Structures are given as structure tokens and as C-alpha cells.
Amino acid sequence: MSVKAQSIASLRRSDVGDRFAALQVPKAAVLIPLMVRGEELHTLLTLRSMELRTNAGDVCFPGGKRDPLDRDDEETALREAQEEIGLQPDQVEVICKLAPIINKSGLMVTPVVGFIDEDFSPSPNPAEVSAVFTVPLDLFIQEKNHFQVKGTNGLVGPLHLFSYTDSSSNAQYQIYGLTAALAIQVSVCALQKNTEFEVGFDFKNSVDFYEQNLRKRLSKL
């Protein structure tokens, strides 16, 4: 079985479907684009423009708040990816939705996972995105280049930070907060491996862990 086929099978076992769709909370969604390069899974990330009012200069997945015309989380994630980096909806093979996370602003952020072609060439919208880069997915389960930051900031467990240098540009990126939490989640689910650092769960019960934390956060809103 190919790397892609194995990861798809693993991810679909973690699919939450529409389990949380009826919750009456403000919603957002991100697209976690995966690709296979040299028999290794990678994911695509963006660097937010410094001109943005919130989270300027942060690393994140393409995504944003639910639009009133969006039918569901998948449509939100695909629309935002198209607007931010020129990724067309028909260029994405959507695989699953993972357990959402409540961010520090009270938005329920649902990660929509999909595969894109390894040769995809982004067209970033300069008003929103200043850089687009790819990262090997196993970065987010390894102790190397991982740091733990004190405080939870309303997210799942402790804050995690990953340092990454893009070999094609030598640009250095800091991946932390919500983006790091989502990256850990998709990595554990896709690779079916435990992290080398403490996160409070293993790959066999990661969905339960994220769901329990979601309900705890919702109870405090």
C-alpha cells in the first residue's frame, strides 16, 4: 500500500464527520493540505501578511471564519484556500474532518484535511499571505526543533512551538499555538505514530482526547 493510501485509511478512521455541525458557536475552518514528496508526507503552510489586523506574521493553515453563504466547514476551508493561495476546490481531494479546537477568541476551528498535487504552484494573495511553504509532516511528532511554552492560551494542553528552516529559501519559521496543535493532530492521525514529546494522548485515542478538550472548552464559554 502506498504512503498516500495508508495515510488516507488512517485519517478516515479519525473523521468526525458532522458530529459537531449543530453546535451553536461561531465557526471557522482551515484546510490542511497534504502531499507526497519522495514517499514522505508534507503539509503546506502560509505566513500571514504583516498588514493584517490580527495575527500578522503568524504561520497558519489556509482558512478563516465561516461565511453566511458557506454550507459547511469543507466549503469554508476550500473557499479560504482559493482566496488566500489560489488553490482551486477541484485541486483538493478532501479526505476527512478532524476534531475541532476552540481558539482563544471562542471560534470553533475545524480542520479539513485534503490531498493536493505535489506540483501545486501557489498564487498567494499579498493582502493576506506573504509566503507559502511546505513542511515534512513528521516534524510535528519529533522532539528535534520542538519547544514547549508555558501557558495554554485557551488551546488544547500546553503550547507547542516548532522551529523550521525552509531549505528552498533559507527562511526560518516559528509554528506555534493553534497551528501547532492542529499540525500535531493531523500528524498523529495520518502517520499513526506517537509524538516524541508529551501531549497527553497517543495515536490510538487522539480523537477522544481532542473531543474531550473541545467539550471542556465549550462548557466554559
Which position has the higher pLDDT, 83 or 22? 83
Separation between Cα atoms, residue 102 and residue 107, nearest integer Å: 5
In this prediction, residue 136 has a pLDDT band, given cuts at 50, 70 and 90, of very high
CA 117 vs CA 35, 51, 100, 108: distances in Å: 6, 30, 25, 28
Q: What is the pLDDT of residues 172-188, one digit of tens each?
A: 999 999 999 999 999 99
pLDDT of residue 208: 86
Write down the CATH number for the domain with range 3-220.
3.90.79.10
Which cell numbers hold the place of 165?
528552516
Mean pLDDT of 12-22: 93
Q: What is the pLDDT of residues 141-152, one digit of tens each?
A: 999 999 987 665
CA 71 vs CA 17, 79, 167, 199: distances in Å: 14, 11, 39, 33
Q: Residues 133, 166: contact at Cβ < 8 Å?
A: yes
- All residues at 6 or more sequence positions from 5 whose CB lies less than 8 Å from its CB, including other chains: none
Q: Where are the domains of the chain?
A: 3-220
Note if the pTM is more than 0.75. yes
In this prediction, residue 110 has a pLDDT band, given cuts at 50, 70 and 90, of very high
| CA 219 to centroid of chain Cα atoms | 24
Separation between Cα atoms, residue 124 and residue 91, nearest integer Å: 16
Mean pLDDT of 212-220: 83
Q: What is the largest CA-CA distance in the chain?
A: 45
pLDDT of residue 152: 55
In this prediction, residue 168 has a pLDDT band, given cuts at 50, 70 and 90, of confident
3-state secondary structure of 212: helix
